[in-house]
Chain A
Amino acid sequence: MQSEQTDESLAERAARGDLPCFEALVERYRDSVYRICIHSAANLSDAEDWAQECFIRVYRQLPAYDCSRPFAPWFRRVVSNVCINMARGRKRASECVSLGLDEMNEPVSGPGTDPQLAFLTKEAKQAVLKAIGHLEPTLRQAVILRVVEGMSFKEMADVLGVPLPTASTWVRRALIRVRQTLLSDGMEIG
């Protein structure tokens, strides 16, 4: 049963062309990848395409995965690189903030938002998401891994392939830029 196998075991078999094992990995990671892609693309309509591209890239790179090491950090590194490269490949920064943000503010599924964090109005959330969407790709990826995926800075450093202080600096810069954008748009965030 694939459901009982570790990620590493599934990845080893998938690397040898066992598609049911790769499908089991897709099932395990699809929500996480989609979440990262939604915020990386800042666009609902692109998120599914980006997620598909991430999984294809993972599949192609599986032969290079060392199964004696944990699968998740390697997997997230591939996904993050795909998202950063796709964001860089966009023709204009304005492309990243388009249709779909309204839908993104409504729970697609899940247990509901944390009431302690749900203090922003819908308009304010839109403004924050827009500001995040305009961050440069590496800073955006850093803030997504930190806030959406809840990674420690050590984990982020591993995934992004940078020293820990750099991961901390990138999140700090991202937060400062989001704040500056919001302030320049007239939003008071304290």
Chain B
Amino acid sequence: MIICDWVQNRILAYLDGEIGGIRSGVIRQHIAGCKRCQKAIEMLRRAQQVVSSALSTPVAAPGSLTVRVMAAVRSLPPEPPSGSQFRRRE
């Protein structure tokens, strides 16, 4: 159970190939022999598909957004940003 929790907390990153080295091997080996984690993977894949479908509508910002933002920025009180605080690594 403890290993299942450890594996499942990393499972999405593992499936994306973002877990490397020894950990990747441990996860692969565990999944191969664990029906509970195999089932969890299927459930997460399906849930991710459903969420992706719901969030997949393309969205563009309204044309007025830039105008609104710039008007708000221009109306800010005169304080930094100023060059004096700007950090640059040499």
Contacts and interface: CB of A to CB of B under 8 A. Distances in A.
Nearest to B50: A189
Nearest to A111: B58
A19 B68 CA distance: 14
A13 B87 CA distance: 12
A66 B12 contact: no
A165 B65 CA distance: 36
B69 A31 contact: no
Contact of B46 (A48, A52, A63, A190): A190
A143 interface: yes
Interface in A130-155: 132, 143-144, 147-148, 152-154
A35 B59 contact: yes
B72 A56 contact: yes
B59 A110 contact: yes
A31 B59 contact: yes
Contacts, number: 186
A82 interface: no
B59 A26 contact: no
A147 B12 CA distance: 12
B58 A113 contact: yes
Interface string B47-90: 11111111111111110111011101110100011110111110
Q: Report, as a range, how many residues of chain A touch the other chain.
A: 35 or more
Contacts of B76: 56, 59-60
A119 B73 CA distance: 42
Given A125-B53, A178-B51, A108 B73 contact: no
A107 B52 CA distance: 15
Given A175-B47, A179-B47, A38 B52 contact: no
Given A16-B83, A108-B59, A168-B13, A59 B53 contact: no
A120 B53 CA distance: 7
A89 B72 CA distance: 21
A109 B10 CA distance: 36
B85 A56 contact: no
A167 B83 CA distance: 35
A12 B82 CA distance: 10
Interface of B: 8-14, 16, 18-19, 43-44, 46-62, 64-66, 68-70, 72-74, 76, 80-83, 85-89
